[in-house]
Copies of this chain bind each other. A is one copy, B any other.
């Protein structure tokens, strides 16, 4: 453990100025894309260093770092390996505080390269320059909007931090994270990690309040003992997710030629990760799945799972996935079966997974989870087909457009619209504060949705309203809901005047209501409620809500969360 790691890496992650040694206008070189990344992100002074070019994208070029008059916090290297040592000497002379050596041709190439690397390391140590690399793709730091990276990726802040021994895998995970709507506070492609080791970054991320979940891709470790000691400390505070290939001979060979690392015995690694409380994942997609799970869910206290599914075959595949991952798809107690008997038609599955077998009573589907979460023996709930609810909005749209096309049944449209318009005075009261905004708003929303979805049992609508009021109280449901209701009820949306179709608004309302419900369940019971989409699709993290794209992926996340809790529990940390 290095007591000063936060202080020592400060100039690296929050530099005030950057020199780029090897910046160039030559499009065939990484020095071109790296300086472009820098210019496109960093707002402080950037000093290109190049021995013969004079102007790089409008910036004045210096021949050597020592020619720069102003102080330099960070030096970025993209020059050939054999010139790095000399340039590092210049950095020492200039009192540069930190560096990233993107240049390849060091330890990964063999003993000669290792010697060169040691030389560079010695020079940097002499000047107290902590550096990333060599043989890496660069890094970024959201706190200073710095992208010192070989690829044209933007810096988007978020609660994740990632140190990767593979630049491409790292970049792929970061891009996929962006697509899912989650950002990275730090991302480091660490390369040969000559100076700052993977465990140093993890320690630093562990102490960074901007980081909630730490991720790392590892091909091999130089000092496994030190790694274990540090990660063991960090996992007491935050989850550390590890992707470590090398189970197979083909991977071990590829690792040797890629990073020069020894993959080592997979069993030994696996046992060590377990001992230090690290969460091991199988692939980049799962890495993000699990990271988002840590961000959005409480830790489950055991392996017992309840599943509710809109379709039997869905439930079958999810139950299979859970049991394959050693989660227990528990037998429901008789009292729960009896309670569900009252909600669902006789054909329901009478077991776990709970499958209403095509029943269209949405109130029951949204009430049943409470009966499952209330059970002591249930540690978490998988709530399937979440995104599928909006299909019903689409169904209405499809039918509506058909009706309009054929100019049929206008009186039916009018009837429903009139019902919606009747809500306007209530909504106005809510808005003006004449009635309790919180409760009445939710009640009205639910009643309206009930009408839209064709639910006729007033009592059930009332139950759902009561359930969601708590969600509103917890601040999970925002005022825009009321505005949308006003818009919808006023009939404006009918004419598409607002740019959003009525069905889009309804779908949006349904989605937000469902998300609020799930948030409320999670808060009330302190148990994970993992939702899944109807089918594989691009999903965005919205607030603290995320839908997984299959029962299998939901199960994988749950088992990883369970294992982390179990580790913390066994060492007495929770």
Identify the closest chain B residue to A455 (Cβ).
Answer: B28
Q: Knowing A39-B402, A360-B30, A406-B57, say if A316 contacts B349 (CB, 8 Å).
A: no
B residues within 8 A CB of A217? 313
For residue A205, CB closer than 8 A to chain B, the reply is no
Report A469-502 CB contacts with B as 1/0, cut-off 8 Å. Answer: 0000000000000000000000000000000000
The CA of A391 and the CA of B175, in the complex, are separated in Å by 11
Bound CA–CA A21/B139 (angstroms) = 65
Q: Which of B315, B349, B398 contacts A36 (CB 8 A)?
A: B398
Complex CA distance for A537 and B262, rounded to whole angstroms: 32
Instruction: State whether the Cβ of A143 lies closer than 8 Å to any Cβ in chain B.
Output: no
A403 at the interface (CB under 8 A from B): yes
Between A108, A309, A313, A394, the greatest number of chain B beta carbons within 10 A of the residue's beta carbon is seen for: A313
The number of times this chain is found in the oligomer is 2
Q: Write out the residue numbers on chain B whose beta carbons fall within 8 Å of the beta carbon of A322.
A: 250
The answer to whether the Cβ of A454 comes within 8 Å of any Cβ in the partner chain is yes
Tell me the residues in window 245-262 of chain A with beta carbons closer than 8 Å to chain B beta carbons. Answer: 245-251, 253-255, 257-259
| A89 CB → nearest B CB, Å | 24
**B395 and A314 contacting across the interface, CB-CB below 8 Å:** no
Report if A173 contacts B (CB, 8 A): yes
- Of A2-10, A159-167, A230-238, the one contacting chain B is A159-167
Q: Across the interface, do A248 and B314 meet the contact criterion of CB distance under 8 Å?
A: no
The answer to whether A257 and B312 have CB atoms under 8 Å apart is yes
- A456 contacts partner chain B, Cβ-Cβ < 8 Å: yes
A323 interface contact, C-beta 8 A: yes
Q: Are B403 and A57 in contact (CB under 8 A)?
A: yes
B-chain residues with CB within 8 Å of residue A385 when the two chains form the complex:
168
User: Are B535 and A258 in touch, CB under 8 angstroms?
Assistant: no
Q: Mark A15-52, 1 if CB is under 8 A from B, else 0.
A: 00000000001111110010010011000000000000
Complex-state Cα separation, A50 to B112, whole angstroms: 86
In the assembled complex, the CB of A132 is this many whole angstroms from the nearest CB of chain B, namely 16
Given contacts A152-B395, A254-B316, A351-B253, contact A58 B406 (CB under 8 A): yes
Chain B nearest CB, measured from A314 CB (Å): 5
- Is A357 an interface residue, CB under 8 A from the partner? yes
| Chain B residues whose CB sits within 8 angstroms of the CB of A168 once the complex forms | 309-314, 385, 534
Residues of B within 8 A of A255 (CB): 316
Is A208 an interface residue when CB atoms closer than 8 A count as contact? no
A343 at the interface (CB under 8 A from B): no
Q: In the bound complex, what is the Cα–Cα distance between A165 and B353 (angstroms)?
A: 17
| A172 beta carbon closer than 8 Å to chain B | yes
Asked if A104 is at the interface (CB within 8 A of a chain B CB), the reply is yes
10 A-B residue pairings within 8 Å (CB atoms): A36-B395, A57-B402, A150-B358, A151-B391, A171-B535, A253-B329, A257-B350, A257-B351, A259-B313, A537-B538
